[in-house]
Amino acid sequence: MSITICHVKDAPKDAIYVGRKMFNYTPRRGVTLPFDVLSQIHIGSVLCNPFRAGETPDPIGRFKAYLWHKMQQGSPLICAELKRIAALVPVQFVTLACWCANEPRGRYFEPSLYPDGCHADVIANAVMYLVFQQMDAAEVTT
Ligand SMILES: [Zn+2]
């Protein structure tokens, strides 16, 4: 039971895109993305990082604090998406796709911009936290 994080360009068709809305995005020549992934890029994810690398210091650290705060607050959209992903983890391979993730599945793509990794690492940790919480809850009730 685990979550894989990949760069958008490596995303399998069942990947969950966690980046910002890019309504007009079209892949560069030579890059083909599965239709489902492309559609998610056009819509954007509620789990995208509002702190932009290169504009905000420590974007991943700030995202971690932000996401935790949203979970504590019970932010409906963010909690629903985290729970949706958490429900998938025990039953299928879950891949989160982001622009700041490894490319291709190696080390981080622009280490100067993303020294602390990808915000999807933070999402994966939050999701796994929910998965284990659900498992604990199931143990108590059975
Ligand atoms: Zn990211």
Is residue 27 within 8 Å of 35, Cβ to Cβ? no
Query: What is the per-residue pLDDT across 51-104, written as a single tens digit (0 to 9) for each?
Result: 987 788 888 899 999 999 999 999 999 999 999 999 999 999 999 999 876 554
Q: Could you state, in order of their start, the residue ranges of all structural domains in the chain?
A: 3-141
Distance 55 CA to ligand 1 centre (A): 15
Joined tokens for residue 5: 């994080």
Query: What is the per-residue pLDDT across 98-121, written as a single tens digit (0 to 9) for each?
Result: 987 655 444 444 455 566 678 999
Distance 124 CA to ligand 1 centre (A): 11
AA identity, residue 47 = L
Half-sphere exposure of 32 (CA within 13 A, CB side): 2
pTM exceeding 0.75: yes
Distance 139 CA to ligand 1 centre (A): 33
CA distance 97 to 110: 16
Map tokens 């599965």 to a residue: 34
Q: What is the pLDDT of residue 64?
A: 94
Distance 78 CA to ligand 1 centre (A): 16
